[in-house]
Amino acid sequence: MTALSVLDLSPIVEGSNASQSLANSLDLARHAERLGYKRYWLAEHHNMPGIASAATAVVIAHVAGGTKTIRVGAGGIMLPNHAPLVIAEQFGTLAALHPGRIDLGLGRAPGTDMGTARALRRNLEASDNFPQDVVELMGYFQPAEEGQRIHAVPGEGQKVPVWILGSSLYGAQLAAMLGLPYAFASHFAPAELDHALDMYRSRFQPSEQLDKPYAMLGLNVFAAPTDAEAKLLFTSLQQAFVNLRTGRPGRLPPPVEGYDQTLEPMAKTMLGQALSCAVVGSPETVRQGIDAFVRRTGADELMVTAQIFDHAARVRSFEILAEAHKSLSQAA
């Protein structure tokens, strides 16, 4: 049965702060561990008022240190923002602290706007070097070779699992060529999903890390006791998306009754496209929705995200999803 994992942006909600968001992330990770989720990933974003996971490796250390068995990792690190050696040292340190539990997902987008990218001292042409940077980074995790002058300490010999993230055909081609697992951002950019999966699977070349294709797909899941309650929770993400796409990023807003009725046609169309990979509803609706999504895509793993305003409702959503997934597994 398809594995379930969690993608967390550590949302900062209106009326709250980053300290509470980071505490909530650890609490949710502990619940996810108890519920049997496979991994808990955090994402690198910068200059985003509603996201507390900018210093991604630091937050991973916070979550991994407060859990015991669940895999914890980056979904992802935006590698062009960093020197490969620095990331090798960071994740080598994480792997030394938490052996066998750390994942490293890599993306080539800046994870921010161009002005902030410059403030990160990012070379705006660095994305062109992404394949070489990935190979360089992976090399730092290998055992040292004779005459090697630059070493990642910690990191060397740890073979931290590396994933390629993407929302286009570029990442699919690279993951296939390098023989790496592939995570597609269908939770916010689903347009190329089917084409990217076909390309990844058809061109995959086995590697030391992976002998056959392994695709993890992003999916929004908003679960509640009733369809109506779940749809109300979903309006927080809808509002946040409209705000972001209209140049007004902010903290995650509270749900609004009848929000979709206030939207202009263009905004409705945008949401319908960007958030088409979403399962929103009661336990039975969620069970049917994830089953249909997996049957359509052949996903090996689902990376589930839920930007829910109320933390207790967010935890409950992941509980309902775990129960739905369990019932599907038993029926299989």
The first and second tokens of residue 25, run together, are: 């992330």
149-203 per-position pLDDT tens digit: 999 999 999 989 999 999 999 999 999 999 999 999 999 999 999 999 999 999 9
Cα torsion for 143, 147, 150, 156, to the nearest 10°?
10
Helix (H, G, I), strand (E, B) or coil at 155: coil
Report how far residue 114's alpha carbon sits from residue 116's, in angstroms, rounded to the nearest whole number. Answer: 5
Which range among 67-71, 85-89, 147-151 shows the weakest confidence by mean pLDDT?
A: 147-151
Describe the crossing of helices 56-65 and 18-35 by its angle, rounded to 10 degrees: 50
pTM for this entry:
0.96
Residue 314: pLDDT band (50, 70, 90) is very high
In this structure, is the dihedral angle defined by the CA atoms of residues 115, 121, 125 and 130, taken in order, positive or negative?
negative
Q: What percent of the chain has pLDDT over 70?
A: 97
Spatial CB neighbours of 313, under 8 Å, sequence gap ≥ 6: 224, 233
Neighbours of 194 (CB within 10 A): 12
Residue 122: pLDDT band (50, 70, 90) is low
